[in-house]
């Protein structure tokens, strides 16, 4: 007999993607806090925006990578 490949349930995929969304939000927020701390520490006002944008790109990369992994 041939074994059938087990497919992930749609609810399981939805839970994984919602968790990835929460991770994305947390990464952006922590990047903002880090930038705010760096800006006050080194007295460079634009560090907040730079670290927030970097955190956004990193979280988007992570989200896309996780979505590809879930769909495979």
Cβ burial of 33 (10 Å; 0-12, 13-18, 19+) is middle
Query: Which range of residues forms the domain containing residue 56?
Result: 24-71
pLDDT of residue 2: 52
pLDDT of residue 36: 96
- For residue 16, being part of any structural domain is answered with no
- For residue 2, being part of any structural domain is answered with no
pLDDT tens digit at each of 72 positions of the chain: 455 555 557 788 778 878 888 999 999 999 999 999 999 999 998 999 999 999 999 999 999 998 888 887
Specify the pTM.
0.79
- For residue 18, being part of any structural domain is answered with no
Number of domains in the chain: 1
Helix spans in the chain (H) = 10-42, 47-71
- For residue 17, being part of any structural domain is answered with no
């Amino acid at each position: 007999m041939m074994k059938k490949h087990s497919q992930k349930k749609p609810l399981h995929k939805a839970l994984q993607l919602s968790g990835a969304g929460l991770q994305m939000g947390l990464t952006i927020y922590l990047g903002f806090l880090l930038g705010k701390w760096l800006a006050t520490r080194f007295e460079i006002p634009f560090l907040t925006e730079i670290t927030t944008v970097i955190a956004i790109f990193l979280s988007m990369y992570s989200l896309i990578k996780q979505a590809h992994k879930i769909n495979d």
